[in-house]
Amino acid sequence: MQRSIQYNLDMAFPENRMRRLRRSDALRALVRETTLEPGDLIYPLFICPGKGVRNAVGSMPGVFNVSVDEAVREAEEAARLGIGGLLLFGLPEAKDEQGTGAWDENGIVQQALRALKQSDAAKKLVLIADVCLCEYTSHGHCGVVVEGREGFEVDNDPTLELLARTAVSQARAGADVVAPSDMMDGRVAAIRCALDASGLGMTPILSYASKFASAFYGPFREAADSAPQFGDRRSYQMDGANLREAMREIQLDLNEGADMILMKPAMPYLDVVRAARNRFGVPMGAYQVSGEYSMLQAAFEKGWLDRDRAILESLVGIRRAGADFIVTYFAQDAARLLG
């Protein structure tokens, strides 16, 4: 006969000792609420022309601009480590006002996608192509530029066709997922319609649904050679003070056909990640952006932080806030630590 045991849930010290479950690695692992695995990580790659090219990015220690052959080697290592996927950015040989290199069938990202698809690594990695024009335009903005109130304006609607052409070109070249990061209104619907009309209806869209105008993008602009030649991007990227607006942006992108959402940046916007996780049931990632990476690297070089612990702690914090996966330049380092 079983006894009915009454538990006093209001017990305090000394009956309740929270440290009991912290006494060993095994106990801590058993009760751990948030996990981090290599498969949760997405590794960004910056693809440049040439062969055997591996150019260091000065503001991002450990990050390189790599040629297609070197990108294949990076992919093979990422696959060996169990990393979930790659996010590809392109540095074209030439730029123009409309960014035509973005949708060129022989563009740098398209070349990389075809080469990666032929490698054994492609079977283990999700290949995600960033859809934007800033790396390909001579002015460095994310769309078609016209005269406007501030001296210039990114013209939203004509830009949509160019983004859609880019996404279709990337999907044809082998992208498993296309990821629009431009923050134009209506771009998800335009891309979804173009993919479907091109027989690419099964290609998922990972939308940078709430991308904030942030100071933490600085090092990326060196890596991708995408700094605006005039003005800034605050007329299309979000104001960092607005959480409610971020929820509206996400809802609109989902209504237009986004399959997944990506929050950017991560660390300064963990409250936005948590709010999105509480409200939306779709797969969601967060991007630990270049400034977050470079800031930590600077502290490591000074000896101010324990490198290995800080890398993993920063990523666990993003997961705990609600991200299902994380885009991070620490992906390979973290995967080795987790292995």
51 residue type, one letter: K
Q: What are the structure tokens assigned to 270, written together?
A: 């963990």
**Which among 95, 117, 211, 302 is annotated as catalytic?**
211
Classify 42 as helix, strand or coil.
strand
Assess contact for 309 and 235: CB atoms under 8 A.
Answer: no
Q: How far apart are CA 254 and CA 46, in angstroms?
A: 28
Cα distances (angstroms) measured from residue 222 to each of 6, 63, 146, 219, 291: 63, 11, 25, 5, 11
Q: Is 302 a catalytic residue?
A: no
Q: Phi first, then psi: give them for residue 67, nearest 5 degrees.
A: -75, 170
Can you point out the beta strands (E) in 48-172? 54-56, 64-66, 85-90, 126-131, 144-146, 153-155
**Which among 95, 117, 124, 264 is annotated as catalytic?**
264
Q: How far apart are CA 316 and CA 318, in angstroms?
A: 5
Packing angle, helices 290-302 and 307-321, rounded to 10: 150
Q: Is 264 a catalytic residue?
A: yes
Print burial letters for 175-207: b (CB count within 10 Å at least 16), e (below 16): bbbbbbbbbbeebbbbbbebbeebebeebbbbb
Q: How far apart are CA 87 and CA 74, in angstroms?
A: 12
Residues catalogued as catalytic: 211, 264
